[in-house]
Structure 1
Amino acid sequence: MSTGQAIEPLEKMGEPSVTDQVFGVLRHQILNLTLEPGTKLSEIEVARQMDVSRQPVRNAFYSLSKQGLLVIRPQRATQVSLISEPDVAQANFIRTALEAETCRIAAQSMTKDDLKVLETLIQDQFSAEAAGDKPLFHQLDDQFHQEICNRTGAPHAWEIIYESKAHVDRVRMLSLDLGLRAAIDGHVAIFDAIKARNEVDAVAALRAHLSRIRIAFNDIKASHPDWFDTDA
C-alpha cells in the first residue's frame, strides 16, 4: 500500500565508510595476531593513531564485539578477546559443513579453467612456503577455498564462512608455526580428488584438511597458554 510520500534514496558510497575502514584494519590486526589476545584498546587512542573521530571507532568496536573478537565492558577497558575453544570448534563445524558440499559440487562441475586457477594457487603456496612468507601463505590459503566456493556457484557460502571463521583464523595463524607443508598437502589432496571427479575423496580430503586445527589445538594452546580462554 502506497504511503503517498517519496522515500529519500540512500547516498551512494563509492568507497568504504570510515567505520568500515577502521573495522577492517582492526579485524585484520586481530586475526593476524598483531593485536594479541588480551590486548587492551582505547577508543581515544585508536582514534588518535588512525586520525579519525571516536564515533567510527566506537562503531567498529561494537561490530567486532558482535563477532566475538572484542570484549567491551562498561567502565572497564575494552580488550581483544581470548581464543575460545568452543568458538573455534563451532566455527570449524560451520566451515566444514559448507565446504564439504562445495567440494562435492566442484568434483562434478569444475572446468579445466577452474582447475588451472586452483593449480596456480597451489604453486603460489609452494613459493610462499619457500620464501617463509606466512602472511602471504595465509592469504593464498583463503583464496584457494574461496575460489572453490565461487566457482561452484556458492559465493554466499564463502561470505558465511568468512564471517564465522574469525575464531579459527587466529589458531590457523598460530598453526603455521608448525609448518606450511601439511596445509599445502591438504590442498593438493582436495585438488587431485576434484580433478579426478571423485566426490567422495574430495569431501574426505576437505574434512581431513580442516580437521588439522582440531588435532593440533592442544599443542598450539600449550605454546601460547595466555592467549586462550581457560574458562570456556
Structure 2
Amino acid sequence: MTRDLKLQALTQERSPSVTDVVYEKLYNSIVSLDMPPGTKLSEADVASKLEVSRQPVRDAFYRLSQQGFLLIRPQRATVVTKISTAAVLKARFIRTALELETICTAMKQATAEDIQALEDNIDGQQRAIENEKRDEFHELDDALHAKICAIAGHPEVWTLIKDNKAHMDRVRYLSLNNEGSQIAHDEHAEILKAFKSKNKHNVIELMRAHLNRIADSIHTIRAAHIEFFEEEDREN
C-alpha cells in the first residue's frame, strides 16, 4: 500500500473526536428544532450535560457559529440564531445546482441494485409517514439524496450539500407534518420513475421543482412561525 493510500485509510478509520461528537449532538438538536431559535446555551451547562470538558464544547460552539446557527456573545449566554430567509434561499440555490448535476450522472450509472435500494427507501418513507415518525422520514429523505450522490460516484458531494442545506432543514422540520411528508414522498416517487426511464428532461424538472418547493412555501411557514425567524425586509 502506498503512503497516500495508508494515510487515506487512517483518515477514513479515524474515530470522531470529542468535539465532533459534541458538534453533532448540538447540530442535530438545532436543526431538528429540539433547541429552537432563541434557546440560550452555556459552555459549562453543555459540558456538564455531555460529561466532557469545556474545550470541545467551545470548539463546537465556534463551528456552529461559523455556520450561522449560534450567536456567541462574550460574557453573555450563547443563543441559537433565528432562521434567516435569505440564508435558506441561498442554501436552496447551492443545493439545486449540485443535485441536478449529480442526478443526471447517477441516472447514467445506476445498476439494478441501485434502483432497488432507491425503491426500498421510498417504501420506507411511506411506512414512516403512516407511523407518524417524522424523524425517521427525515433520515430516509436525506438517505435517498445521499444515495443518488453515491450512485453518481461522488459521495463527497452529499457532504457539501449537507453543509449548505442545514438552514433549509430547520424550515423543513416546521413543514414536515404528515401532509408535507406525503407531498415529499410522492415527489420522490415521481423523480424515481423518471430516473428509471432515463428521461433526463423530466428528472431535471421534477428535481428542480422538488427542491424549489421550499422557496414557494417559506413565506407561509414564516407567517405561521414568525417567532422563529429573523426580522427581515418585507420583500424577503
Q: Deviations over 1:29-64 (max 9, x none)?
A: 001100001111111111111111111110100011
Match of 1:7 in 2: none
After superposition, the Cα gap between the structure-2 partners of 1:58 and 1:131, relative to the gap in structure 1 and judged at 3 Å, is same
Shift of 1:73: 1.9
The 10-residue stretch of structure 1 (179-188 or 132-141) with the greater mean CA deviation from structure 2 = 179-188
Q: TM-score, normalised by structure 1?
A: 0.92
For residue 189 of structure 1, what is the aligned residue in structure 2? 190
SS at match of 1:79: strand
TM-score normalised by length of structure 2: 0.90
How many angstroms does 1:136 deviate by?
Answer: 0.1
Matching residue of 2:3:
none
Secondary structure class of the residue paired with 1:162? helix
Distance 1:13 1:47, change over 3 A: farther
Whether the 8 Å CA contact 1:103–1:199 is kept in 2: the answer is no
Question: Counterpart of 2:94?
Answer: 94
Aligned-partner residue type, residue 28 of structure 1 = N
Task: Rate the CA distance shift 1:32–1:111 in 2: closer, same or farther, 3 A.
Answer: same
Count of matched residue pairs: 223
Specify every segment of 5 or more residues in structure 1 that has no aligned partner in the other structure, as ranges. 1-9
Distance 2:156 2:53 in 1: 33
Amino acid at match of 2:146: Q
Q: Which residue of 2 aligns with 1:176?
A: 176
Q: Which amino acid aligns with 1:94?
A: I
Q: For 2:12 and 2:131, how far apart are their aligned partners in 1?
A: 42
Residue 13 of structure 1 deviates from its aligned partner by: 7.6
C-alpha displacement at 1:214, in angstroms? 1.0
Contact 1:190 1:206 in 2 (8 A): yes
Corresponding residue number in structure 2 for 1:137: 137
For the 8 Å contact 1:100–1:203, the answer to whether it is kept is yes
Q: In structure 1, how many angstroms separate the alpha carbons of the residues matched to 2:231 and 2:88? A: 13
AA in 2 matched with 1:216: S
Counterpart CA distance in 2 for 1:161 and 1:47 is 29
Check the 8 A contact 2:106/2:153 in 1, yes or no: no
Distance 1:122 1:218 in 2: 28
- Matched residue type, 1:230: E
**Corresponding residue of 1:117:** 117
- Percent identical pairs in the alignment equals 46
Deviation, 1:11, is: 11
Instruction: Tell me if structure 1 keeps the 8 A contact 2:107–2:152.
Output: no
